[in-house]
Amino acid sequence: MRRRASFGTGTSRTGWPTVVLAGLVYGGWLVATAWHAVLPAPVLVLASGWLLAWQGSLQHETIHGHPTRWRRVNDAIGFAPLSLWLPYRLYRRSHVAHHGAAVITDPGHDPESRYRSQDSGVAGLLGRLQATLVGQMLFGPPILVARFLLAEGARVVREPVRVVRDWAPHLLAVVVLLWWLDHVGLGLGRYVLCFVYPGMALTMLRSYAEHRADLSSPGRAASVERGGVFGLLFLNNNLHAAHHERPSLAWYDLPAYHRRHRARFAAEGAPIYRGYGEIVRRFAFSAHDDMVHPRHRVTPA
């Protein structure tokens, strides 16, 4: 974007909509896990996937300094490892780096970029599996987790003390979560299939087209204007250009900011989609972009 705001330190007042949201997310998760045996499988998958994706959106808010002025309180709200695989501390570090990247979308600068630096070997094959929206939602979750764990395994060799600090609180919380799952009779395999996998797939629907590596334009963050029910699920992060320009804005303030600045976003080249129906129609089986970043593409002689 043309202007770039600081990452943000949160709010001077308590964001009660976000507090209520946190109660719904964690209360809903407790109900879904406790009553999993009596819920029909399709209902369980839809409700549980929604709750896991919703918690991811909530964590995004807490990382950006909401709902209170106190980081420790916000971190405590977002910390619970419902997805099992991603320590909150690492998510926070990665997301701060994403917003601070010198070139957003360039995998050499942006740790959350979907783009890659090469199109050969295993990286190229996995990238092609994730090129379409269907491929991203279907294959993206296990690929993301595998790549993340491999990277963390390599990091153990380079910085073992830091890895222990990052993972120890997370793993202790996972032990508590697994105790609860065992207490309510919900097996780990079923939890992953009914909660974690669909939650990650829904999150990947949001992230699929939210950035485009257009080097000729400052507008690399997209907006999906009519989020509908997905706007609530993603806490208006579908208005991604507005979020990147004002990352400290609470989720319920983003729509008004987007409306005020929409014309400028469009003039700066930020992609604007009508809704997720358009995303599905255009990209379900077609690639959103060449996922080798423009800085790394080989131009034929």
User: Which residue stretches of the chain have pLDDT < 50?
Assistant: 1-6, 300-301
Global pTM?
Answer: 0.93
In a domain, 138, yes or no: yes
In a domain, 24, yes or no: yes
In a domain, 160, yes or no: yes
Give me the pLDDT at residue 3, please: 42
Buried b (16+ CB within 10 A) or exposed e, 128-145: eebbbbebbbbbbbebbb
> Over the stretch 205-250, which tens digit does the pLDDT of each residue have?
999 999 988 756 655 899 999 999 999 999 999 999 999 999 999 9
Q: What is 199-238 written as a DSSP string?
A: HHHHHHHHHTTSB---TT-S--B-EEEE-THHHHHTTTTT
Which of 104, 118, 103, 108 minimizes the C-alpha distance to 291? 118
Give me the pLDDT at residue 214, please: 74
Q: How many domains does the chain have?
A: 1
In a domain, 89, yes or no: yes
In a domain, 270, yes or no: no
Structural domain harbouring 199 = 16-209
In a domain, 232, yes or no: no
Q: Is the dihedral of CA 128, 57, 235, 62 positive or negative?
A: negative
Give me the pLDDT at residue 120, please: 75
Q: Is the dihedral of CA 231, 114, 75, 87 positive or negative?
A: positive
Q: Which two tokens stand for residue 224?
A: 């999906």
In a domain, 287, yes or no: no
In a domain, 122, yes or no: yes
